[in-house]
Amino acid sequence: MAEVHISSCPLNCWDTCGFKVTVDGGKVIKVEGDDLHPITQGKICGRGRMLEARTNSKERLLYPLKKVNGEWTRVSWEQALDEIAEKMRKIKNKYGTTAVLHSHDYANNGLLKNLDRRFFNCYGGVTELTGSLCWGAGIEAQTWDFGNSYSHAPEDIYNSKHVIIWGRNVARTNMHLFGHLQSAKKQGIKLVVIDPIFNQTAQMADMYVSVTPGMDGFLAIGIMKELLRLGLEDRNFIENYTIGFEDVQTLLQSITIEEIEQLTGVERDTITSLAFIYGNRPTMTYLGLGMQRYANGGNTIRLIDALVAMSGNIGIRGGGANFGNLQVGQSFNIAALTLPERKTKSRTFTMMKQAEGILQATDPGIKMIIVTCGNPLTQVPNTNVVKRAFQSVETVVVLEQFMTDTAQLADYVLPTTTVFEEEDIYYSSMYHAYVNYGPALVQPPGEAKPDLWIWTQLANRLGFGADFSFSRDEFLQMGLSGLEKYGITLERLKKEKHLLLPVKPVPWDDYTFQTPSGKFEFTSLLAKKKGIDGQLKMMYPAESEAENKELAKKYPYRLLTIHPLRSNHSQHYHLIESMQSIKIEVSRDIAEEKGLEDGDKAKVFNDRGQLVGTVKILKKAHRKVINIDEGQWEKFGGSVNVLTSDRESDNGQGSTLYDCLVNIEKISE
């Protein structure tokens, strides 16, 4: 008989939904939204529902595989684990532990997914990746400004007079915020959307502002100029709770509104209207991730933070510069799970430059890569170089559920369980502060195993099995250990299914910031400590007319690589036939310039690579914009990252995936 269980979405998404999962005959047959989850309220997206198909797919990896003479051969777990452990032992003895690279990402938000780091720390410390492809520049920027990256509780939106959605298509990526926007609008709260693409969120806005991609920071400068001209800034906040305001004033004086109009494509009247909106507190700003994926991305987020601060929208109900909400992840005792003190050696590559790191590493070179929770062959920029780098390494081990592009390149593929086949707890440091419980509901197919089982087996073989001699419950309790004083225990979580973490619904309401000065820093002392001038700047994307005229002439269009609607990054493409081709979305202006029509075949290209796909004309978008959704598999046309650059953001922690100029040509069938 069918049974319904409460579980959680594990996907890397703002919403971390609660699930209602129907199991019949030992099989997951339906995934729906949990009506009782305060955020989910019974509604989930197609990506979450697809986890049923993902779990039951015939394409699941069922057995450990080893590549022998270029062909996959099924091997026993004993053989795979013995051979991998033996290679790790030899590498450690001959080259040292940092000859192993741990390449990871965030395919799953489970707390116990952190145990891969425990394994590598107990091994002795490997080469690790720092920064993030996704939001690294913005997180670092907010750390410079506020000392941390915190967001307001979702329901605080109803305390706002105006909500600005700046570069985030919440209809596609943050559906429960979209629901709040609809309700807020009904209550008379005004909605402004700033985005180069007139997306589904923009369609419901009271005001839509199209901005030139990568120039959002200049728009913030323009609004700040107008705020000061109109006397709408919050003098009390600026004088008592900030440092470096004089540097901002100098910056604002160095550019005219006319120049800003030209750079951003936004007219003066609109800039003035935005200044009035910011000055009429409380105004809540939600920042997206795309605009910080540029060489000037950290500076862009800092300029928007500065605007929110200058207008007095920090620390008040209905305000905030809402980007990440790290107070959620910081609630857990990650150190107890990962044991950083066990590391005796370490080396880091940035996430963006991992390919270059692999190819250039000496003393020691990289001899083995182990990939967890990620698919770098589609997700890391400059795919052709990433491929070359991974192919250059003697042994690549991938823990996976499916034969992804990265798994295809591996020497060993170890089959792992899905969310419904292992117990864990789930949270996301992006939007709300609920932690969800996810029980093991069905048996894994074939010989697929949880990651934790794999780490334990390898640790036993490598002589540190004692560090893994704990049950899943014990590991979960370790991660929750700092929360017991608030009454948040595993026992309660198992019973109640979701619990609200003790985080501030209105961050910075005491105006005490986690920066070196304890104030909001327009000029960052933390940046200065790192040897970087911490002042806000006038900065352009690296691939732009302002920075590289020649390149902009050769490649006149800006490529965006937004998240697909139906796949979480690369995770679902193989399960949805209609997604298995490249769609090239272009503005009407580009279509006219290049003689393109809907359905035409075209190639998008630059010096790094090219991609062929089918044209779709965007109804309304910035005139220079081309979009190709990220995450596509090689067998379905290939990743858009053959075109993107592995350059790092200005603060070194982020990617520059959107900082990418391309050209486009129609091709005959």
**Cβ proximity of 411 and 67 under 8 Å:** yes
Find the shortest distance in angstroms from Cβ 13 to ligand SF4: 3
Find the shortest distance in angstroms from Cβ 656 to ligand SF4: 25
Chosen residue from 21, 45, 137, 503 binding ligand SF4 by CB under 6 A: 45
Per-residue x/- mask for ligand SF4, residues 347 to 386, rule CB under 6 A? ----------------------------------------
Of residues 11 and 91, the one with the C-beta less far from ligand SF4: 11
CA pair distance 363, 340, nearest whole angstrom: 23
- Residue located via tokens 């052709």: 384
Chosen residue from 6, 44, 321, 526 binding ligand SF4 by CB under 6 A: 44
DSSP-based three-state secondary structure for 85: helix
CA pair distance 260, 138, nearest whole angstrom: 22
DSSP-assigned letters across all residues of 260-321: HHHHH---HHHHHHHHHHHHSS-EEEEE-SGGGSSTTHHHHHHHHHHHHHHTT-SSSTT--E
**Cβ proximity of 460 and 83 under 8 Å:** no
Per-residue x/- mask for ligand SF4, residues 273 to 292, rule CB under 6 A? --------------------
Chosen residue from 137, 175, 410, 488 binding ligand SF4 by CB under 6 A: 175
Give CA torsion, residues 404, 608, 388, 374, to 10 deg: -30
Find the shortest distance in angstroms from Cβ 9 to ligand SF4: 3
Task: Work out whether 260 is an interface residue with ligand SF4 (CB under 6 A).
Answer: no
CA pair distance 19, 311, nearest whole angstrom: 40
Chosen residue from 21, 32, 34, 47 binding ligand SF4 by CB under 6 A: 47
**Cβ proximity of 113 and 333 under 8 Å:** no
Find the shortest distance in angstroms from Cβ 8 to ligand SF4: 8
Task: Work out whether 165 is an interface residue with ligand SF4 (CB under 6 A).
Answer: no
Per-residue x/- mask for ligand SF4, residues 119 to 158, rule CB under 6 A? ----------------------------------------
CA pair distance 401, 570, nearest whole angstrom: 13
Residue 368, C-beta contacts closer than 8 angstroms, at least 6 positions apart: 87, 88, 91, 99, 100, 101, 393, 394, 395, 396, 397
Task: Work out whether 15 is an interface residue with ligand SF4 (CB under 6 A).
Answer: yes
**Cβ proximity of 626 and 590 under 8 Å:** yes
Q: Taking CB under 6 A as the criterion, which residues in 566-595 touch ligand SF4?
A: 568
The span of 14-22, 299-307, 439-447, 649-657 binding ligand SF4 (CB under 6 A) equals: 14-22
CA pair distance 265, 589, nearest whole angstrom: 15
Chosen residue from 6, 7, 11, 252 binding ligand SF4 by CB under 6 A: 11
Of residues 264 and 375, the one with the C-beta less far from ligand SF4: 375
CA pair distance 607, 663, nearest whole angstrom: 10
Q: Taking CB under 6 A as the criterion, which residues in 17-36 touch ligand SF4?
A: 17
CA pair distance 76, 82, nearest whole angstrom: 10
Of residues 54 and 92, the one with the C-beta less far from ligand SF4: 54
Find the shortest distance in angstroms from Cβ 109 to ligand SF4: 9
Residue nearest to ligand SF4 (CB): 48
**Cβ proximity of 65 and 412 under 8 Å:** yes
Of 556, 562, 564, residue with least CA distance to 581: 564
Residues in the chain: 669
For residue 465, give both structure tokens: 């099995």
Chosen residue from 21, 23, 37, 48 binding ligand SF4 by CB under 6 A: 48
DSSP 3-state helix, strand, coil percentages of the chain (rounded to 5)?
40, 20, 40
Of residues 9 and 526, the one with the C-beta less far from ligand SF4: 9
Chosen residue from 16, 103, 418, 627 binding ligand SF4 by CB under 6 A: 16
The span of 44-52, 357-365, 473-481, 520-528 binding ligand SF4 (CB under 6 A) equals: 44-52
The span of 13-21, 59-67, 69-77, 369-377 binding ligand SF4 (CB under 6 A) equals: 13-21
- Residue located via tokens 């490598």: 462
Find the shortest distance in angstroms from Cβ 236 to ligand SF4: 39
Find the shortest distance in angstroms from Cβ 339 to ligand SF4: 29
Q: Taking CB under 6 A as the criterion, which residues in 606-625 touch ligand SF4?
A: none
Of residues 303 and 501, the one with the C-beta less far from ligand SF4: 501
Find the shortest distance in angstroms from Cβ 289 to ligand SF4: 14
The span of 6-14, 365-373, 380-388, 543-551 binding ligand SF4 (CB under 6 A) equals: 6-14
Of residues 379 and 568, the one with the C-beta less far from ligand SF4: 568
Helices (H), 131-208: 136-146, 170-173, 175-186, 200-203
Of residues 41 and 57, the one with the C-beta less far from ligand SF4: 41
Of 351, 214, 348, residue with least CA distance to 654: 351
For 242, counting Cβ atoms within 10 Å of its Cβ (0-12 exposed, 13-18 middle, 19+ buried), the class is buried
Interacting residue ranges for ligand SF4, rule: CB under 6 A: 9, 11, 13, 15-17, 44-45, 47-48, 175, 568
